[in-house]
Structure 1
Amino acid sequence: MWKTLDLVRVYTKPRGLAPDYSQPVVLRRGKCSVDDFCSSIHKEIAKQMKYAIVWGASAKHSRGQKVGLEHILEDEDVVHISKK
């Protein structure tokens, strides 16, 4: 059984809407990059992604940080994916 410390909960934020805190995307620590996040939603999203904006512990700025696929997410981060 996994410990809760081994899991990272990531929330989605659709464009123009508030973050959806009702259904987090749950990733395992060590497999919690933006690429892993995209793949857990749909395998084509990472290919279509232009950049992601992240709010939370892994972001350098409280207003959000523009990141790429290699960015490592922390527990309770909020992610918005911008497509090409």
Structure 2
Amino acid sequence: MSSFAHLEWNLDGLLDKIWEYLDLTRIYTKPNGMNPDYENLVILSSKKRTGRTFATRFSRICPKQFKYALVWGSSAKHKPQRVGKEHELEDEDVVQIIKKV
């Protein structure tokens, strides 16, 4: 019998350590009038996790089109919170971008 047969793989723990080591932030999207999309997430560096960075990475809108964002999650004081483009997002926040008309 292989020595690997007795080894327990802790892949969830490994994945958590990889996220921690790479210092990444997971941000989920919420299309207007729909439920949050937990399947398609935007991954940001923890050093650049503002509403502006999220908007340009996710929806490819230029900063001039960004009106505000609605945020649900640990970075929001209330759910949802209306925030500007310099708001610091937290891991697993849900964001809905509102563009200027």
TM-score (norm 2): 0.75
- State which of 81, 85, 88 in structure 2 corresponds to 1:65: 81
**Structure 2: runs of 5+ lacking an equivalent:** 1-16
More strand as a share of residues: 1
Give the corresponding residue for 2:35. Answer: 18
TM-score (norm 1): 0.89
Give the corresponding residue for 2:10. Answer: none
- Contact 2:52 2:66 survives alignment (8 Å): no
Give the corresponding residue for 2:73. Answer: 56
Say which structure, 1 or 2, has more relative contact order (CA 8 Å, 6+ apart). Answer: 1
More helix as a share of residues: 2
Aligned length: 82
Give the C-alpha shift of residue 3 in structure 1: 3.5
Q: Percent identity?
A: 51
**Structure 1: runs of 5+ lacking an equivalent:** none
Structure 1 residue runs of 4 or more that deviate by more than 4 Å after TM superposition: none
Aligned-CA RMSD value: 1.5
Deviation per CA, 1:1-50, whole angstroms, max 9, x where unpaired? x9402010001101100000001100010110011111212443432121
